[in-house]
Structure 1
Amino acid sequence: MQRLTPMGAMILSLLREGDMHPYEMVRLMRVRRDDRLLTLTNGTLYHTVARLQRAGLIDEVGSDREGNRPERTTYSLTDAGRDILIAWLRRELSTIDRPAEFRIALAEAHNLERGDVLQSLRSRRVALDEEHIAYRDGLIDARRDGVPEQVLVEYERQEALLEAELRWLDALIARLEAEDLPWGPAAFPNSERYRAQRKAAQQ
């Protein structure tokens, strides 16, 4: 499978919304505050676009020049790009040892159908539960053996974080199962907020 970086995944996700040129991608990512998830620079984005094109994951579909602005090349998502994005999202949603990738996969999980998301999150829950039990039991054993509390604070924090994530994950899975959470690629494109974001990014 072609290796996909987090930036590559975000670009492919953008192109699922429609054809775009890199300048629009950058602006739209900034409007949506995607820079909270990864370092966003023009150079990195343009380099990633070129790499995705060489890999056959995106295609040029045209170029235009407006006024004195540089020529802008517009890209479209290929079938291969769509397939690798879906595979990446499924994998990263279910994996617990890459937290940065998981945040991006969660932010872009709306590109998957509800059933795909549920399957990946249920797999994630199993792995999280196993890790939480290991930390919880480790704390119990350490305290029984008289390990000083001051050397257990990091261990204690991680056990608490895992417990909190399990509660959050259970709530999300329940909302998805009950279908009271609108979901899927077609759930938001016609919203006023979405249209305003696209318009602002195209200026």
Structure 2
Amino acid sequence: MKDAVARLTPLGVMVLALLREDDMHPYEMIRLMRQRHDDRIVSLTNGTMYHTVGRLERGGLLAEVGTDREGNRPERTTYTLTDAGRQVVLDWVRREIPRIDRPVEFRVALAEVHNLERDEAVSLLRERETALAASLELHQGGRAKALAKGVPDQYLIEVEREGILLEAELTWLRELIARVADTDYPWGDAAGMPTDRYLAQREAARR
């Protein structure tokens, strides 16, 4: 399973996460991801989608469950999530949430963290908080030492910016942790029951 997690790309995770919702064909996946603006996070083309689906199938993370053809449209193959695929998404999210050196992977993991139990999600987010706080202290301390040694401020602008961004993310993260830790905050599959908007999205993506 470790190898499967290591080989997963952000797009691969998003494909597997989509199949947690229902069986789908790649064309539906593409349309649904575009409707949700997931292409803000990952590059999304027909070629990369079909390549990713093929690789996930060869890895045993998803499986073909049927094909259909409507009118003059090309034949479409529908896929389902395997037990291994379901588990590898969770393991990938667990690995990426605490890491602060992989921003793209973190954004995908954050989009899927609701698949974890509340307590585990809070624990992993707190690990990230600790890592961010340490990184912020390092940046702020390093800049202060450099200024004290007479390094011109103009050479430290990037360091200053990084520290400000870390401080802002840390503030946001602490607010998020408090929100998720609150048991009144809706969380998990039960909180995400299909809405009319979701069902309309799915119907539009199937066409």
* Superposition TM-score, scaled by structure 1 size: 0.97
1:185 Cα deviation after fit: 2.5
When the two structures are aligned, how many residues end up with a matched partner? 203
In 2: Cα distance, 1:167 partner to 1:201 partner: 37
2:194 maps to which of 165, 184, 190: 190
Q: How many Å separate the matches in 2 of 1:24 and 1:191? A: 18
Runs of 4+ in structure 1 off by over 4 angstroms are none
Measured in 2, the distance between the counterparts of 1:95 and 1:192 equals 36
The one-letter amino acid paired with 1:69 is R
Aligned to 1:94: 98
Among all aligned residue pairs of Structure 1 and Structure 2, give the percentage whose two residues are the same amino acid: 60
Q: Of residues 2, 5, 20 in structure 2, which corresponds to 1:16?
A: 20
Structure 2, unaligned runs of 5 or more: none
Match of 1:31 in 2: 35
CA distance in 2, matches of 1:49, 1:116: 29
Rounded Cα–Cα distance in structure 2 between residues aligned with 1:21 and 1:116: 31
Q: Secondary structure at the match of 1:66?
A: coil
C-alpha separation in 2, matches of 1:40 and 1:8: 11
**Residue 128 (structure 1) aligns with:** 132
1:43-192 aligned within 5 A: 43-192=47-196
Measured after TM superposition, the shift of residue 90 of structure 1 is: 1.0
Map Cα deviations across residues 39-70 of structure 1 (whole Å, 9 max, x no partner): 10000000000000000000111111111111
CA RMSD of aligned residues (A): 1.0
What does the per-residue CA deviation read over 1:77-99, in whole Å, with 9 as the maximum and x for residues that have no partner? 00000111100011111111000
